[in-house]
Structure 1
Amino acid sequence: MTQVIYARPLPPARSIAQVGGKQSWSELRPANLDDAKALVRLKIALAREAEHMIFDVRDRGELLRRTTAELNAAVAGERGIFVLQRIGDLVGYIDVRSVCIEGAAEFASFNLAIRTRWQGRGLGASLVKSAEEWVRRRGLLFLIFHVAVRNDRAFAFYERLGYTVCGDVVAANKESGVIGDYYAMGRMLDADAEEDALA
């Protein structure tokens, strides 16, 4: 038997001015299949710039196939991929999906990356907000992700957004997507909704 889960449609694309409060000509929007090549170019650029993340871009054909499969899953509602677009170029993205941890299916995780020259402008917070909205619409309770121990800037960023370390430092491994030892950070999202309702 197939179970159908209703998820509200994605909100319309918003300019960063509407999301982050700053005047900008960038756009935050859900990714679509037409973004495959642009997202591949972004991942290749991020692979050169990233100090703390692993981007497997050696086989460009495989990267395009993998990215297209991820976008197909996003279009089908199985994951959320949101992009920041600057006049035809993608400058950042977040890829959020549900995950099962120790048999529990109420978790979601994400990968977030922004080109170096666009960091520090509130764009990351806008992307995280989009991921949190995606998670809430699916009734998931907890958002968890990996942050490299040496990535002080990201650690401080996520702490400002209300995320905390969940457990001990984990030894480096390729599957984490992070270079070096890392923290698992997370936040319970339903608690946020309860606090908002009480306010």
Structure 2
Amino acid sequence: MTIIIRPANYQDVPALTALTEEMGYPSDSQALSERLTMLLGSPDLHQLWVAEIEGEVAGWLHAFWRPLLESPAAVEIGGLAVGLRWRRRGAGRALVHVAERWARTKGATTVTLRAAIHRDEAPDFYQHQGYQLSPGQKTFRKQLGDTH
């Protein structure tokens, strides 16, 4: 079985939408296509790759450049999705490795990511890729309402 990692493109929108929904993040193709336009339009800051297996998009990974004032710049994995039927075949690992290679080309010494608590398999997957849980950090989020 061969895994092909390549940059995402607009022809991938139906597969990206389906994989994103499978991960529990419902999105319509139009909204996803608009976000894809922004990401593809900033290749110095954002990269989006897909993993193909047997001619089918099996997964995707979005990574972005994250310059910080208080510490060296890093690359963050903003999202990783691999379809249920394609898991444990190496697609996720291959996508993470391409993101790490891109991070090195950017001069980053760190790759970070966030994993949702309800993703039971995610901690084991990332730890097997050499990632460690960051102690003492919590993620805070505020939903911004309409401010007319």
TM over 0.5: yes
Native 8 Å contact 2:5 2:50 kept in 1: yes
Which residue of 88, 98, 101 corresponds with 1:120?
88
2:20 corresponds in structure 1 to 47
Which residue of 91, 94, 99 corresponds with 2:58?
91
1:142 corresponds in structure 2 to 110
Measured in 2, the distance between the counterparts of 1:81 and 1:99 equals 15
Question: What do residues 46-91 of structure 1 show as CA deviations (whole Å, max 9, x unaligned)?
Answer: 233215xxx3514x323212112212223xx332222112455322
Distance 1:168 1:151, change over 3 A: farther
Unaligned runs of 5+ in 1: 1-23, 176-199
SS in structure 2 opposite 1:48?
helix
Measured in 2, the distance between the counterparts of 1:172 and 1:50 equals 21
Q: Name whichever structure is richer in helix by fraction.
A: 1
Measured in 1, the distance between the counterparts of 2:47 and 2:64 equals 6
Unaligned runs of 5+ in 2: 144-148
1:191 corresponds in structure 2 to none
Native 8 Å contact 1:107 1:142 kept in 2: yes
Query: Taking structure 1 as the reference length, what is the TM-score of the superposition?
Result: 0.62
SS in structure 1 opposite 2:85?
helix
Are positions 1:71 and 2:45 aligned together?
no
CA RMSD of aligned residues (A): 2.4
SS in structure 1 opposite 2:35?
helix
How far does residue 108 in structure 1 lie from its aligned partner after superposition? 1.1
1:28 corresponds in structure 2 to 5
1:80 corresponds in structure 2 to 47
Native 8 Å contact 2:74 2:109 kept in 1: yes
Measured in 2, the distance between the counterparts of 1:93 and 1:138 equals 20
Q: How many residues align?
A: 142
Question: What do residues 75-133 of structure 1 show as CA deviations (whole Å, max 9, x unaligned)?
Answer: xx332222112455322111111113454351110121111110111111111110000
Question: What do residues 126-157 of structure 1 show as CA deviations (whole Å, max 9, x unaligned)?
Answer: 11110000000110111111012232311001
2:146 corresponds in structure 1 to none
Identity %: 25
Query: Taking structure 2 as the reference length, what is the TM-score of the superposition?
Result: 0.80
